[in-house]
Amino acid sequence: MTVGEYFKCPLCGKTFCIKMQMDPTYTLYDWPIHVSCSNCGNEMDLVFNSNGLQPSDLKIDDAEQCITFGYSAVLPMTSALYYRDLSRAERMVSFSPFINYSFFYGKLDASGMLGYWVNALMKSLIPYRHYLKELYPLISHQPCNVKAFSAKLAALSEAPKYKVLRNENECLDAFIDLFFATYKNLSIALYEKSPYAKLYQQLQDFVLRADENQLALARDVVNKVMSLDDWLWDEALETAAEVVNEIQVLFPSMSFVAMGTFDIPSGKELYTMTVGFKKLDEWYASLFEALVHIMPLIVGLNNAMKNGDANVFVVDGNQLSKTMIDFSKLDTANRIGAISQDAVLKETFVPLLNTHIRNAIQHSGDNFKIESQIVEYHYDHTDRSKHDDFRLIDVGFMVFMQLLHLLEAIFLVTSMEKKLRNV
């Protein structure tokens, strides 16, 4: 079922029609719509809820001819429903976003695993996505007010009766448990069975089974080149909470995982109408930095797991003349080059740590093409002819995968620290 909604660009007056895919969830939440005006370039953020399209002052009556695009809160759009100049009659006979998507994927069932995942997200994540952001100011305040944190958690959970947590460690454990529940809702079976989750599963198992002395040595080596506490509190937790708070804008990009696709770029001509490129670029840059900054711990634990010494790099059975001090002195590009020598580290992180994208964002070299939803990343500010191009939906997918890996890194740090609390 679809519903047509009409609106105009407030700057140039261009008229648009959204062919909305309706489902039982549309009345429960505010669904994000992001539109780049193809006439003047204006970026517009709208929402759709039980009151229809908002803001209401942009709404207009039906139009005979207008730019039409499809919208689903969870599905990508195909070219059949992306910025098409259609008459009223043509809009009436055009297929829904769901049917177009099903045609696009051929024999693949767009309602099977994807539908199961979406239903789970609607039930187990969307209602609670704001918890992490609202709790972060309390848990990060030093000293943590245990009573206030307990009361806030109970209020968010709508629990009239609750037991006050006993100390800061219990508050932290409860906070991390919420992150872990978020992660389990996001990382469906297809991801957990993929090579991209392999490293985290191995390192987490190592942290849980390693003796405390071995972990303490690994932690001490890493803390000589970075502060794990500073990374956790000043960067990782806040960044992850910010993205989770608006996770619904990534749903169309996240659908690749439900279809078993992990290629970057995907090579698929698909579009998203839930988020703009500036927000995705901002998140990409923040997640990129958080992952690069925690790389000494990932590398150190990987070293300790493989050869018993966090400070010794071994690749293909050969010891490299590197220590953690050497690694920490490398700039971002060379850190990524160093981890590329390890097959598992390379497969896990390198596709998501594209220095061309990061450099273009830092130097305002990101340029969005509305007609194709291609983002051009001009990474060399001295030569604008050089750029890497990605579809907007692929940028969203990279952000989603970065988020999963950041959550995994958070769990490695907190699991290690929890195990070492009483040592």
Q: Model confidence over 33-73: pLDDT tens digits?
A: 999 999 999 999 999 988 888 999 999 988 899 999 999 88
Q: Which two tokens stand for residue 343?
A: 């097959």
Residue 180 lies in a domain: no
Owning domain of residue 96? 2-105
pLDDT class of 261 with cuts at 50, 70, 90: confident
Q: Say how many domains are in the chain.
A: 2
CA 138/CA 326 separation, integer angstroms: 37
- Other CB atoms within a 10 A radius of the CB of residue 293 amount to 19
| Residue 336 shares a structural domain with residue 224 | yes
Which one of 105, 132, 157 terminates a domain?
105
| Residue 210 shares a structural domain with residue 355 | yes
CA 287/CA 401 separation, integer angstroms: 10
Question: Does residue 22 surpass a pLDDT of 80?
Answer: no
In this prediction, residue 318 carries a pLDDT of: 67
| Residue 96 shares a structural domain with residue 201 | no
Residue 76 lies in a domain: yes
Residue 208 lies in a domain: yes
Residue 171 lies in a domain: no
| Residue 261 shares a structural domain with residue 406 | yes
In this prediction, residue 121 carries a pLDDT of: 87
Residue 367 lies in a domain: yes
Contacts of 54-60 spanning 24+ positions with Cβ under 8 A:
54/30, 58/7, 58/8, 58/10, 59/5, 59/6, 59/7, 60/6, 60/7, 60/8, 60/15
| Residue 362 shares a structural domain with residue 231 | yes
pLDDT class of 24 with cuts at 50, 70, 90: low
The residue ranges of DSSP E strands in 229-358, in sequence order, are 314-315, 318-319
Residue 205 lies in a domain: yes
Integer CA distances (angstroms), 252 to 248, 315, 359, 384, 395, in order: 9, 38, 26, 31, 11
Q: What is the reported pTM?
A: 0.94
Question: Does residue 110 surpass a pLDDT of 70?
Answer: no
| Residue 308 shares a structural domain with residue 407 | yes
Q: Are strands 15-21 and 65-71 parallel, antiparallel or unpaired?
A: parallel
| Residue 95 shares a structural domain with residue 227 | no
Q: Is the peptide bond before 55 cis (omega within 30 degrees of 0)?
A: yes
- Mean pLDDT of the region 135-160: 94
